[in-house]
Amino acid sequence: MHAEADEKMRFLDAIGSRLSTLGQDDAHAVLAGDLNICHSADDLKNWKGRLGKSGFLPEERAHLDRWGSEHGWVDVHRTLHGPGPGPYTWWSSRGTAFDNDAARRIDYQFASRALDGLATRAEVGRAAAYAERWSDHAPLTVDYDLTLQAD
Residue 23 — pLDDT band, cuts 50, 70, 90? confident
Q: In this structure, what DSSP letter does residue 96 have?
A: T
Nearest to 110, CA basis, from 10, 8, 34? 34
Nearest to 88, CA basis, from 137, 55, 52? 137
Stated as kind and residue range, the H or E segment containing 108 is: strand 107-111
Show the CA angle centred on residue 3, arms to residues 109 and 1, nearest 5°.
90
Nearest to 113, CA basis, from 11, 19, 18? 19
User: 16-25, 52-61, 64-73, 135-144: lowest mean pLDDT where?
Assistant: 16-25
| pLDDT cut 70: percent of the chain above it | 97
**What is the per-residue pLDDT across 62-80, written as a single tens digit (0 to 9) for each?**
999 999 998 899 999 999 9
> What domains lie within the chain, and their CATH numbers?
3-144 (3.60.10.10)
Q: What is the pLDDT of residue 11?
A: 93
Residue 4 — pLDDT band, cuts 50, 70, 90? confident
